[in-house]
């Protein structure tokens, strides 16, 4: 890649075992960051860290359920200790459990909110005190990038819980951006459309769906996004080049919302 925009940055990435999170950990490292990888899939998160270390980067990993508030505080502390500080957070962990809303077990709604929205909040809340006490903030400030979704901005059928959680992530990101801008902490959200990852490879395991409802959420481009393309946007937003960007929700969706 040949870019050193994140030289010496101390980054924490959730969901780093797979898909967009793994690509993000790898991209941040490729641009010079030290990376602490967390995921509920401990072994796969360790594999991400091992791959980064094998290529000459510096990475650590630990297992974390982002829905567990106390565990988030502990993991953020461990990341700060391992990296010698903390100035970049990427919240990528998430789940997608589609279904007909009137038939789906409401526990799935609660779980989706607990991981996608409250989990993102837990990580932001645990990290902000470290950012605030960081007197050596990097050029462009300390940064949080939260992965929301195009589903935050457009109704996606059979995804009420997911859409609600991701709209919440967008609102949370904007609130934090306005609250901490003066302390040189930037907070942004990315709203991807369809991206090729294990999450989407699972297909759409819902019976009796109306295919016509999907036409309006199709990308205009005859393609699907790649995790590396989302990771590249995370790296840009986290870098000094994006020092004027905070409180944004950036779509990257092949024209889905065009
Ligand atoms: N793939 C897409 O089309 C798409 C589109 C828009 C937004 N997103 C969002 O991007 C993010 C990454 O998704 P992906 O496509 O890479 O999927 P993925 O399933 O490959 O990765 C999600 C990761 O989150 C981890 N995770 C799940 N629950 C967790 C928990 N409680 N604590 C910690 N880690 C947990 C999983 O173990 C997994 O490694 C998600 O937030 C997803 O909602 C994905």
Higher pLDDT, 220 or 145: 145
Strands of 48-138 (E only): list them.
59-63, 88-91
CA dist., res. 179 & res. 185, Å (int): 9
CB within 8 A of 251, min separation 6: which ones? 150, 153, 191, 192, 193, 257
Instruction: Return the residue whose CA atom lies nearest to atom 7 of ligand 1.
Output: 149
29 token code pair:
């490292």
High-pLDDT (> 70) share of the chain, %? 99
Three-state secondary-structure class, residue 58: coil
In the chain the domains, ranked by start, together with CATH numbers, are 10-252 (3.40.50.720)
Is the predicted pLDDT of residue 1 greater than 60, yes or no? no
CB within 8 A of 240, min separation 6: which ones? 5, 138, 139, 140
- Ligand 1 neighbour 181 (Cβ under 6 A): no
- Ligand 1 neighbour 138 (Cβ under 6 A): no
Name residue 190's beta-bridge partners.
Answer: 147, 250
pLDDT at 2: 56
- To test ligand 1's pocket by mutation, which of 21, 22, 169 has the most ligand atoms within 8 angstroms of CB? 21
What are the tens digits of pLDDT across the range 59-108? 999 999 999 999 999 999 999 999 999 999 999 999 999 999 999 999 99
CA dist., res. 218 & res. 186, Å (int): 31
Cα Rg for the chain, rounded, in angstroms? 17
d(CA 96, ligand 1 centre) in Å: 8
* pTM, entire model: 0.98
Is the predicted pLDDT of residue 58 greater than 80, yes or no? yes
Instruction: Return the residue whose CA atom lies nearest to atom 20 of ligand 1.
Output: 19
Alpha helices in 181-226 (DSSP H): 198-201, 212-215
Name residue 59's beta-bridge partners.
Answer: 35
- Ligand 1 neighbour 89 (Cβ under 6 A): no
What are the tens digits of pLDDT across the range 19-49? 999 999 999 999 999 999 999 999 999 999 9
d(CA 65, ligand 1 centre) in Å: 12
CB 103 within 8 A of CB 26: no
CA dist., res. 162 & res. 140, Å (int): 31
21-30, 140-149, 218-227: lowest mean pLDDT where?
Answer: 218-227
What are the tens digits of pLDDT across the range 177-218? 999 999 999 999 999 999 999 999 988 889 999 999 988 899
DSSP designation for 195: B
63 token code pair:
């297992």
Q: What ligand 1 atom has the least distance to the C-alpha of 162?
A: 43
d(CA 135, ligand 1 centre) in Å: 32
Specify whether 162 is catalytic: yes
């Amino acid at each position: 890649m040949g870019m050193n925009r994140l030289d010496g940055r101390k980054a924490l990435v959730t969901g780093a075992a797979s898909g967009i999170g793994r690509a993000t950990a790898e991209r941040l490292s490729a641009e010079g960051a030290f990376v602490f990888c967390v995921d509920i899939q401990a072994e796969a998160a360790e594999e991400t860290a091992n791959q980064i270390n094998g290529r000459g980067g510096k990475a650590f990993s630990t297992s974390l359920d982002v829905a567990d508030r106390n565990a988030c505080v502990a993991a953020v502390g461990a990341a700060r200790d391992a990296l010698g500080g903390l100035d970049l957070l990427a919240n990528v962990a998430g789940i997608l459990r589609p279904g007909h809303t009137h038939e789906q077990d409401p526990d799935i709604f609660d779980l989706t909110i607990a991981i996608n929205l409250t989990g993102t909040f837990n990580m932001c809340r645990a990290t902000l005190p470290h950012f605030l006490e960081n007197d050596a903030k990097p050029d462009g400030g300390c940064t949080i990038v939260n992965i929301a979704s195009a589903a935050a901005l457009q109704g996606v059928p059979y995804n009420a819980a997911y859409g609600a959680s991701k709209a919440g992530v967008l609102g949370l990101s904007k609130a934090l951006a306005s609250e901490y801008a003066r302390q040189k902490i930037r907070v942004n959200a990315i709203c991807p459309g369809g991206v090729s990852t294990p999450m989407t490879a699972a297909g759409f395991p819902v019976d009796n769906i109306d295919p016509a409802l999907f036409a309006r959420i199709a990308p205009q481009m005859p393609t699907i996004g790649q995790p590396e393309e989302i990771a590249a946007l995370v790296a840009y937003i986290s870098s000094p080049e994006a020092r004027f960007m905070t409180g944004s929700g950036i779509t990257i969706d092949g024209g889905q919302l065009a």
